[in-house]
Each structure stands twice: as structure tokens, then as C-alpha cells.
């Protein structure tokens, strides 16, 4: 039987970006648990929630809210190599700053999980597809790369504030409540 006491671990990972990682578990992480993981960089005094989990070893293959929006738009005819995703990947590889890419891949899975927990998630994904993906594609096709980058970056920051932060705060509160 798992010990029901919370476990907090601080480690120094072999990473150049983070010098401390804090793992908070509701109970023994080898058992079913709730947890949250925070990476800290003391150089720039930043902290990033890098992973959240419910103790399951299963993870969704969909980690990108842009891909998820395309999947929802195309329903059963979705192809991971659809025109939109090919253009967006080309754009990412040619124009998007490496730090912005890294941030996207850290935060996008959290945004997807948060949106999936919203009642109106279909409406949100429709908005992402029509007002962000289609807009960015049009800008890229017209070689308005700065405008596409501006829209891409601002939508990530806006979705982080609107969906990811409240979702993670709620999850952290639940983890701390369960650990009492």
C-alpha cells in the first residue's frame, strides 16, 4: 500500500537550461498519484512547469494545439502531413526562434490538456483553426513572415495565460490539498 504522505523532491538535472527541478507528488510516485514538476533556472530567475501527470504511464500523442485544432477540423480525414501542418512546420524550421520553439513544446501539451477540459473545447479548436492557423497560413503564403510570427507567438502567450496557467494553478492546489 502506498504511503499517503506527500513527497517533494528537488534534484539538479543534467540540463543547461535548468539547474533545479522540483517534483511534488501526493504520495509514492511508484503508485497511482497526482504530481506537478517545476524546473527552475537561477541564472535568469525563471521557473517553468515542465510536466504534469496523473500518475499514468500513458501519454497522448497530441502535444501540439495546432495539430489538435487541425485534427478537430478534418475529423476522420485528418492527415498529419496535411497542407497546413506542412506549411507551419516549414515556417517553424525557417523563421521561429529556437527558444520560442522550445517554449511552445513545453507549454502546448498543457494548453491541449486544459482546452480538452473546457466544455466548449470544440469551439476553441475551431477558433484556433480558423483564426490562427488559416490566418498564419495566409500570411506565410503572402510572405508576411513577421506578421505570421507575431500572430503565432502572441497566440501561444495568450493561450498560456488563458488556459495553461489557471489549469496548472488548479492542479497544483488539488495536489497540495490531496497531500494534507
Query: CA-to-CA distance for 112 and 121, rounded, in angstroms?
Result: 10
Is 12 inside a domain boundary?
yes
Tell me how crowded residue 155 is: count the other CB atoms within 10 A of its CB: 20
Q: Given a cut of 60, is residue 163 above it in pLDDT?
A: yes
pLDDT (0 to 100) of residue 63? 56
Same domain, 23 and 104: no
Same domain, 22 and 81: no
Specify the number of domains making up the chain: 2
Same domain, 52 and 84: no
Same domain, 48 and 72: no
Query: CA-to-CA distance for 35 and 6, rounded, in angstroms?
Result: 10
Mean predicted lDDT score pLDDT of the chain: 75
List the domain range (segments joined by +) for residue 111: 65-168
The verdict on pTM exceeding 0.95 is no
Is 119 inside a domain boundary?
yes
Tell me how crowded residue 73 is: count the other CB atoms within 10 A of its CB: 18
Same domain, 44 and 86: no
Same domain, 100 and 122: yes
Is 176 inside a domain boundary?
no
**Percent of the chain at pLDDT above 90?**
17
Same domain, 16 and 88: no
Same domain, 53 and 69: no
Q: Is 127 helix (H, G, I), strand (E, B) or coil?
A: helix
Q: Given a cut of 70, is residue 37 above it in pLDDT?
A: no
Q: Are 114 and 161 in contact (CB under 8 A)?
A: no
Q: Given a cut of 90, is residue 22 above it in pLDDT?
A: no
Q: Is 21 helix (H, G, I), strand (E, B) or coil?
A: strand
Which residues make beta-bridge pairs with 20? 40
Q: Given a cut of 60, is residue 9 above it in pLDDT?
A: yes
Same domain, 72 and 150: yes
pLDDT (0 to 100) of residue 180? 61
CA angle (4, 23, 30) in 5-degree steps: 50
Mean pLDDT check: name the lowest of 75-79, 88-92, 112-116, 154-158. Answer: 75-79
* Whole-number CA gyration radius for the chain: 18
User: At 54, is the pLDDT very low, low, confident or very high (cuts 50, 70, 90)?
Assistant: very low
User: At 143, is the pLDDT very low, low, confident or very high (cuts 50, 70, 90)?
Assistant: very high
Same domain, 71 and 137: yes
pLDDT (0 to 100) of residue 139? 96
Query: CA-to-CA distance for 133 and 174, rounded, in angstroms?
Result: 34
Is 97 inside a domain boundary?
yes
Same domain, 73 and 50: no
Q: Please enumerate in sequence order all residues whose Cβ is within 8 A of that of 55, keeping only pairs 6 or more positions apart, or say none.
A: 29, 31, 32, 33, 34, 35
Amino acid at each position: 500500500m502506498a504511503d499517503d504522505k506527500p513527497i517533494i523532491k528537488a534534484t539538479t538535472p543534467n540540463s543547461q537550461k535548468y539547474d533545479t527541478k522540483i517534483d511534488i507528488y501526493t504520495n509514492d510516485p511508484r503508485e497511482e498519484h497526482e504530481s506537478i514538476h517545476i524546473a527552475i533556472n537561477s541564472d535568469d530567475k525563471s521557473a517553468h512547469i515542465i510536466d504534469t501527470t496523473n500518475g499514468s504511464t500513458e501519454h497522448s500523442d497530441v502535444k501540439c494545439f495546432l495539430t489538435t485544432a487541425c485534427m478537430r477540423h478534418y475529423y476522420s480525414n485528418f492527415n498529419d502531413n496535411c497542407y497546413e501542418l506542412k506549411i507551419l512546420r516549414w515556417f517553424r524550421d525557417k523563421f521561429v526562434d529556437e527558444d520560442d520553439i522550445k517554449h511552445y513544446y513545453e507549454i502546448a501539451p498543457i494548453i491541449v490538456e486544459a482546452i480538452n477540459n473546457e466544455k466548449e473545447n470544440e469551439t476553441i479548436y475551431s477558433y484556433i483553426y480558423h483564426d490562427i492557423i488559416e490566418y498564419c497560413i495566409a500570411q506565410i503564403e503572402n510572405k508576411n513572415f513577421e506578421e505570421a510570427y507575431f500572430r503565432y507567438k502572441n497566440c501561444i502567450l495568450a493561450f498560456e495565460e488563458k488556459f495553461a496557467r489557471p489549469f496548472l494553478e488548479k492542479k497544483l492546489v488539488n495536489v497540495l490539498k490531496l497531500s494534507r
